[in-house]
């Protein structure tokens, strides 16, 4: 009886943890198989333990080149989308102007559009313009679809900002530029950072839009896609595992630092 009660009370916890397990299972597989030494070209079946791939992560031709290209594109796309998106978010929250509704829809639509539609239509445009597909077309596409997400993230933050803070700064002899640099920007920073992080993740991991508009340029996701057809090197798992671990450590470290700072100040 008590066990049934316990089960009833913790049903949601058990279900939640099972979902979490479902979410993490592929990552566990990816990690385990980064120590595999497969027979043949595909790394789908466990053979025997080996650290070969970890010792030589760039051992497959084109892998590290595509990784560095993806990082570069993600960096510039983040920069571009964050700058453009932050400006739009400020304009939307802080000013009244014409065509507001139309602009809101224009920002919402890319998020409500299947990637394949955007990818195909953008390719049509590039083909019509006779543009050379490659780094620049990928970058243009990434800034385009990251933009809306940055606007949404920054907008939420700016909307929750008390307008009196900026008025207080003006009241205390800060001109428009000083007000922006000393008060607006620092307070909006978490929203901008969240938007930028999202843009980076979206850009780095994008496959569908990139696949359409890359021409013969190969980003990291495209490299993985290609190897899924030709043969998956273990090094892919090494990179995937490393990224996962770095992300978890990064978040945990920033949480710990944040907690410690709060404790010290309190």
Partner 1 sequence: MATTKTQTDATEHSGDVRLSGISKTYGTFTAVHPLDLTVPQGSFFALLGASGCGKTTTLRMIAGLEEPSSGTVHLGDQDVTALPPYKRPVNTVFQSYALFPHLDIFENVAFGLRRRGIKSVKKQVGEMLDLVQLGEQARKKPHQLSGGQQQRVAVARALINHPKVLLLDEPLGALDLKLRRQMQLELKRIQTEVGITFVHVTHDQEEAMTMADQVAVMNGGRVEQLGAPADLYENPRTTFVANFLGTSNLIEAEVDTHGADEVVVKAAGDKLVLPVARCAAPARAGGKVLVGVRPEKISITHADEAGSIPEGRNRITGKISNTSFIGVSTQYMVDCAACPEFEVYAQNIDRDARLAPGADVVLHWNPAHTFGLDADQSLLAGTTGDAGVAEGETV
Partner 2 sequence: MSTLTEAPPPLTPAAPEKKPPRTRGRWTPYWLLLPGILWLLVFFAAPMVYQASTSVQTGSLEEGYKVTWHFVTYWEAVSEYWPQFLRSVAYAASATVLCLLLGYPLAYLIAFRAGRWRNLIMTLVIAPFFTSFLIRTLAWKTILADGGPVVGVLNTLHVLDVTGWLGWTSGDRVLATPLAVVCGLTYNFLPFMILPLYTSLERIDGRLHEAAGDLYAKPSTVFRKVTFPLSMPGVVSGTLLTFIPATGDYVNASLLGSADTGMIGNVIQSQFLRVLDYPTAAALSFVLMAAILVMVTFYIRKSGTEDLV
3-state helix, strand, coil in the chain (%, to 5): 80, 0, 20
DSSP helix/strand/coil, 81: helix
The option from partner 2, partner 1, none interacting with 231 (CB < 5 to 8 A, set by class) reads none
Give every CB contact of residue 53 below 8 A, 6+ residues apart in sequence: 34, 35, 59, 233, 234, 235, 237, 238
Smallest gap from Cβ 29 to partner 1, in A, equals 43
Interface of this chain with partner 1, residues 30 to 69, rule: CB under 8 A: none
In the set 117, 127, 159, 172, which binds partner 1 (CB under 8 A)?
A: 172
Tokens encoding 44: 């789908």
Question: Least Å distance between CB 264 and partner 2?
Answer: 19
Among positive and negative, which fits the CA dihedral 74, 78, 84, 88? positive
Instruction: Report how many helices (DSSP H) and strands (DSSP E) the chain contains, helices first.
Output: 12, 0
Q: Is 31 exposed, middle or buried (0-12, 13-18, 19+ CB in 10 A)?
A: middle
Residue from 212, 218, 233, 234 that binds partner 2 (CB under 8 A)?
Answer: 212
Check binding of 173 to partner 1 (CB under 8 A): yes
Q: Which x/- pattern over 45-84 shows residues binding partner 2 (rule: CB under 8 A)?
A: x--------------------------------------x
Residues 9-38 that bind partner 2 (CB under 8 A): 12-13, 15-20, 22-27, 29-30, 33
231 is a site residue for partner 2 (CB under 8 A): no
β-bridge mates for residue 49, sequence order: 36
Positive or negative, the CA dihedral 55, 59, 65, 70 is negative
Q: Which does 4 bind (CB under 5 to 8 A by kind): partner 1, partner 2, none?
A: none
> Contacts with partner 2: how many residues (CB under 8 A)?
94
**Is 162 near partner 1 (CB under 8 A)?**
yes
Of how many residues is the chain composed?
A: 266
Q: Which of 191, 195, 221, 233 is the binder for partner 2 (CB under 8 A)?
A: 221
48 binds, among partner 1, partner 2, none (CB under 5 to 8 A by kind): none
CA nearest 125: which of 189, 15, 256, 213? Answer: 213
Torsion 20-25-26-28 (CA) sign: positive
Nearer to partner 1, 27 or 170 (CB): 170
The answer to whether 181 contacts partner 1 (rule: CB under 8 A) is: no
For partner 1, the binding residues (CB under 8 A) are 162, 164-165, 167-175, 178-179, 182-183, 186-187, 265-266
């Amino acid at each position: 009886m008590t066990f049934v009660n316990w089960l009833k009370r913790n049903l949601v916890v058990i279900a939640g943890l099972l979902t979490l397990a479902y979410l993490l299972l592929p990552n566990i597989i990816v990690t385990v198989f980064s120590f595999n030494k497969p027979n043949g070209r595909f790394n789908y079946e466990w053979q025997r333990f080996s650290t070969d791939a970890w010792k030589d992560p760039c051992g497959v031709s084109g892998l590290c080149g595509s990784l560095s290209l993806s990082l570069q594109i993600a960096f510039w796309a983040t920069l571009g989308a964050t700058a453009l998106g932050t400006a739009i978010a400020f304009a939307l929250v802080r000013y009244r102007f014409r065509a507001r509704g139309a602009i809101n829809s224009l920002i919402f639509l890319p998020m409500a559009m299947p990637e394949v539609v955007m990818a195909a239509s953008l390719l049509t445009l590039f083909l019509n313009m006779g543009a050379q597909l490659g780094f620049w077309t990928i970058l243009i596409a990434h800034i385009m679809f990251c933009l809306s997400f940055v606007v949404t993230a920054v907008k939420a933050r700016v909307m929750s900002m008390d307008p009196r803070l900026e008025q207080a700064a003006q009241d205390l002899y800060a001109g428009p530029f000083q007000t922006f640099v000393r008060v607006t920007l620092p307070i909006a920073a978490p929203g901008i950072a969240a938007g930028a992080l999202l843009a980076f993740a979206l850009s780095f991991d994008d496959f569908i839009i990139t696949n359409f508009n890359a021409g013969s340029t190969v980003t990291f996701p495209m490299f993985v896609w290609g190897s899924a057809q030709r043969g998956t090197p273990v090094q892919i798992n090494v990179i995937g595992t490393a990224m996962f671990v770095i992300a978890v450590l990064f978040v945990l470290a920033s949480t710990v630092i944040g907690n410690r700072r709060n404790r010290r100040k309190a």
